[in-house]
Every structure is written in C-alpha cells, then in structure tokens.
C-alpha cells in the first residue's frame, strides 16, 4: 500500500500539508522563491495564487507503459508552471492560467473519481507550483478512500525543502530533465541554475524512492522514471544527462527518451529562436539513443512501434 496512508494515520500527512501551505505566504515552493503572498491571491512566476487550477483530468493512455497498463494513468493537468519554457507543448495550459480554481475538497474528489474509473495511479502533471495545494487535498482524499500510487510528473526544477515535504508521500517521481547547461536554461526558461538544481533534485528523488519498481502486471508502483526531450542541435545536452544518470543516480534508471519535439508556444510564434524552429531529425534521435546506450542506461521506455513510425514519417517527408 502507498506509504502516505501510514503518514495520514499518524497525522504526519496533515502536518506536512500545513507546512507547505504556510510557505505560500512568502512563496518559496520552488527555486524561483518569488516571495509573493499566494495565500492572499498574489501570483508570481507560476501565475497561480491561493488555489490550484485544474485544466483537465482523465484517464490518460499516452503516458509510459508502466503507468498506463490496461486502464490508464489518472492525470490531473494543472494550469501554470514554474518554468514556462518558450517551446512548451502545453502552452495554453502552462502560460495561460485557464481552468477553474479547485478547493482541497474538490481536488480530493477528482482523485477519487479517477480511482473509481480504474486508473492505476494519480498522476499530477506540472505539480511543483501547487505542491501545497496537492498536500492540502490528500488527507481529504484518503478519508474518501484514496489508495493509489501518486506520480509527481514535474519539470525537474525543484526545491529540496519542498521535496523533503514529499518524502514518504510521492510513490513515483517523474521529472523531465531538460537542459544540461546554463546557457540554454537561461535562454529558454529564464532559469540559469536549472542544471544544478535539477541534478540535486534527482539525487533526492532517487534517495526517496529508488529505481522504478513494477508489480507482477508490469505496472509501476514506486521509484524514479525520468523523461528527456531530445531537442534540435542537442540544446538539451542529452549525452551529459545520460552520463549523469548512469554515474550519479543509477544505471538502472528507467528513462523515456522522447522524440516528439516540435516548435510550439512562443518558439513557433516568434523568430527569436531560429534554432528551435524545426522538429528533430532521425539522426538526432538515434544519437540520443546511442548516448544512453554508451552511458550504460539499459531501461529505456519501449516505444518501438512509435519510434519506427517517427523514422518512417521523416523518410517520407510527412508532417510530424
């Protein structure tokens, strides 16, 4: 059973939630440390005030195989973001705070509805800036019967203090590791310290949950699952990231090397970043896979059919 159930029984879950909510008064949930009073509705970089906004929620079948299983991953897409990358593929959700505000009780009911639909987990998409609101909702959800693993599906730009509040609560950490160097981090998401912050965060996530563990059905129940989006001209620094994962996290790290980069958001609407104004090539994707193999990463998400289609589309010059 998920560890957060025992923390709820002991009262620790409610205590952690209150600590997180208190940090909203001079917000320091993420490395931005905007310092605004979100309890009074003020907003900082993430664009979200006192209550979380949920853009959508549903069983999701496009996630990694160990999360999806037969019944899907129970995703909650939160509006706003602490990174706001210029190429964001969810630009309308992250850069525009759409979706209704949800009270803790309403968030809890959403989690229960996903559990009742048969989902294998509760998947919080872009949760960093609303960690307090998620923790605030969890005791209500547990009282309603929640018992699924929790997935923290984030951009990797995390505060160690906030991660400490999640210890024993989150079952599966799923960070998207973006840039291995400070220059593209500053250029594309105004976070020069992204590489160092993310490396430290990954180590803490792994300390808490270890390598990804699957049950006898092949469904993930705990552990670290890392996503990495391959970018044009290797802006993401794939080789460096694969080496870091193998040498400083674990060669058993489960990694999804993603091929779906395309110009989106501000990168598609502006000529400011010409290097981002194209999809990746088959050669760039194959180089990323080779970098993982060279580093010793062997647990790659099995997307064989999709990878073959990706290569075929490029060979035929189709629109990807």
Task: Write down the pLDDT at residue 305.
Answer: 45
Q: Tokens 């390598």 appear where? A: 211
Indicate the pTM of the whole model.
0.94
Buried/exposed code over 85-123 (b: 16+ C-beta within 10 A; e: otherwise)? bbbbbbbebbbebebebbebeebbbbbbebbeeebbbbb
| The residue to which tokens 């909702």 are assigned | 137
Q: Would you say residue 55 lies in a domain?
A: yes
Residue 273's domain spans which residues?
Answer: 4-315
Q: Is residue 102 part of a domain?
A: yes
pLDDT confidence of residue 25:
98
Which of 94, 96, 145 shows the shortest CA–CA distance to 122? 145
Q: Which two tokens stand for residue 184?
A: 């593209």
Residue 320 domain-assigned?
A: no
Q: Has residue 271 been placed in a domain?
A: yes
Q: What is the pLDDT of residue 313?
A: 45
Query: What is residue 128's DSSP assignment?
Result: G
d(CA 138, CA 2): 12
Instruction: Identify the CA nearest to 146 among candidates 126, 123, 163, 121.
Output: 121
Round to whole Å and give the CA distance between 60 and 73. 5
Low-confidence ranges of the chain (pLDDT < 50): 304-315, 318-320
Q: What is the predicted pLDDT for the residue at 292?
A: 98
Total domains present in the chain? 1
Looking at residue 250, its pLDDT comes to 98
Helices and strands in the chain, H and E counts: 13, 10
Residue pair 226/177 in contact by the 8 Å Cβ criterion: yes
pLDDT of residue 96: 87
Is 135 contained in some domain?
A: yes
CATH number at residue 55: 3.20.20.70
d(CA 247, CA 190): 28
Task: Kindly report the backbone phi and psi dihedral angles of residue 13, in degrees, each rounded to the nearest multiple of 5, phi listed first.
Answer: -60, -45
Q: Are 3 and 169 in contact (CB under 8 A)?
A: yes
* Mean pLDDT estimate for the chain: 94
């Amino acid at each position: 059973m998920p560890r957060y159930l025992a923390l709820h029984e002991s009262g620790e879950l409610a205590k952690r939630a209150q600590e997180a909510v208190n940090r909203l008064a001079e917000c320091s949930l993420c490395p931005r440390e905007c310092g605004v009073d979100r309890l009074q509705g003020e907003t900082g970089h993430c664009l979200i005030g006192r209550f979380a906004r949920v853009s959508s929620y549903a069983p999701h079948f496009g996630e990694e195989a160990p999360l999806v299983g037969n019944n899907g991953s129970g995703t909650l897409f939160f509006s706003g973001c602490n990174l706001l990358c210029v190429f964001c593929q969810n630009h309308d959700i992250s850069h525009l705070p759409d979706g209704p505000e949800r009270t803790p009780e309403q968030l809890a009911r959403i989690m229960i509805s996903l559990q009742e639909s048969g989902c294998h987990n509760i998947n919080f998409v872009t949760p960093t800036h609303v960690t307090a609101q998620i923790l605030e909702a969890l005791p209500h959800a547990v009282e309603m019967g929640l018992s699924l693993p929790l997935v923290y599906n984030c951009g990797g730009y995390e505060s160690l203090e906030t991660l400490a509040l999640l210890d024993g609560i989150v079952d599966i950490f799923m960070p998207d590791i973006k840039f291995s160097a400070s220059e593209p981090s500053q250029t594309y998401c105004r976070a020069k310290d992204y590489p160092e912050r993310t490396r430290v965060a990954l180590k803490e996530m792994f300390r808490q949950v270890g390598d990804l563990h699957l049950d006898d059905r092949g469904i993930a129940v705990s552990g670290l699952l890392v996503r990495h989006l391959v970018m044009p001209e290797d802006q993401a620094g794939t080789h460096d990231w694969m080496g870091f994962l193998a040498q400083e996290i674990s060669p058993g790290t489960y990694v999804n090397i993603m091929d779906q980069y395309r110009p989106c958001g501000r990168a598609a609407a502006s000529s400011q970043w010409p290097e981002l104004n194209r999809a990746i090539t088959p050669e760039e994707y194959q180089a990323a896979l080779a970098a993982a193999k060279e580093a010793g990463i062997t647990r790659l998400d099995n997307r064989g059919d999709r990878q073959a289609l990706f290569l075929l589309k490029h060979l035929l010059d189709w629109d990807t």
